């Protein structure tokens, strides 16, 4: 078992996973490893273009090909390169990934970011990433894919700490500070 603590951030697309990860990184100086970036890197290696449909198909195919925990396995390589005792993981999508982290690392804390579908679509439209849904229907379809590959089980994990993210950035920062204090995590 590796002697690191992970703060694993999860939620549906546009809930604010990356924002929460970035805020923790800036406030506490913990590095962030994005699971989505690991998937995009793997897709690029295979010559797959970034687009909502192609990335959805790729992630489903990757999990069929190499197992439901493959993204965690790709992410562990990045975590090991970091010389920090606490690392933030942005974008957990399945219970299998969570279990791999729990078996590999000393301590794993799960943060579940929650926001309404309307709020999430508005955020995604501002983000302008090639693989982001553009309509409510596209977002519902993507949500269903994400939930079916295991996100539903992760969101409902009893050990997860839920963070409602419907407010402004100041409210989110306040909620994160309260959680970090409760978890007794401080700057390294």
Rounded CA gap, 139 and 150, in Å? 17
What digits encode the pLDDT tens for the residues 140-153? Answer: 999 998 898 889 99
Is 91 a domain residue?
A: yes
Is 188 a domain residue?
A: no
With H, G, I as helix, E, B as strand and everything else as coil, classify residue 81: helix
Number of domains in the chain: 1
Rounded CA gap, 44 and 64, in Å? 18
* Mean pLDDT, rounded, of the chain: 91
Backbone angles phi, psi at 178, to 5 degrees: -60, -45
What digits encode the pLDDT tens for the residues 31-88? Answer: 999 998 999 899 999 988 877 667 878 888 898 999 989 999 999 989 999 989 999 9
Lowest mean pLDDT among 59-68, 95-104, 171-180: 59-68
Which CATH number belongs to the domain containing residue 48 in this structure?
Answer: 3.40.50.300
Is 187 a domain residue?
A: no
- Position 186 scores a pLDDT of 64
Percentage of residues of the chain with pLDDT beyond 70: 97
The whole domain housing 74 covers 2-182
pTM for this model (two decimals)? 0.89
For residue 142, CA distances in Å to 13, 14, 61, 73, 182 come to 8, 11, 15, 23, 33
Is 69 a domain residue?
A: yes
Rg of the Cα atoms in the chain: 16
According to DSSP, the residues that pair with 90 across neighbouring strands are: 9, 34
What digits encode the pLDDT tens for the residues 114-137? Answer: 999 999 999 999 987 877 889 999
Is 115 a domain residue?
A: yes
């Amino acid at each position: 078992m590796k002697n690191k603590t992970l703060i694993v951030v999860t939620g549906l697309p546009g809930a604010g996973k990356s924002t929460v990860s970035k805020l923790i990184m800036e406030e506490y100086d913990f590095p962030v490893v994005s699971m989505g970036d690991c998937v995009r890197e793997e897709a690029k290696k295979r010559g797959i273009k970034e687009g909502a449909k192609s990335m959805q198909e790729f992630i489903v195919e990757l999990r069929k090909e190499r197992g439901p925990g493959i993204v965690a396995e790709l992410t562990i390589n990045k975590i090991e390169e970091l010389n920090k005792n606490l690392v933030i993981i942005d974008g957990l999508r399945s219970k299998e990934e969570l279990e791999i982290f729990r078996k590999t690392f000393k301590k794993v804390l799960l943060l579940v970011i929650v926001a309404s579908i309307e709020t999430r679509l508005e955020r995604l439209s501002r983000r302008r990433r090639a693989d982001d849904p553009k309509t409510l229907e596209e977002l519902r379809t993507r949500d269903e894919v994400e939930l079916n590959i295991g996100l539903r089980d992760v969101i409902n994990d009893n050990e997860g700490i839920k963070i409602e993210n419907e407010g402004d950035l100041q409210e989110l920062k306040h909620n994160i500070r309260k959680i970090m204090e409760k978890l007794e995590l401080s700057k390294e």
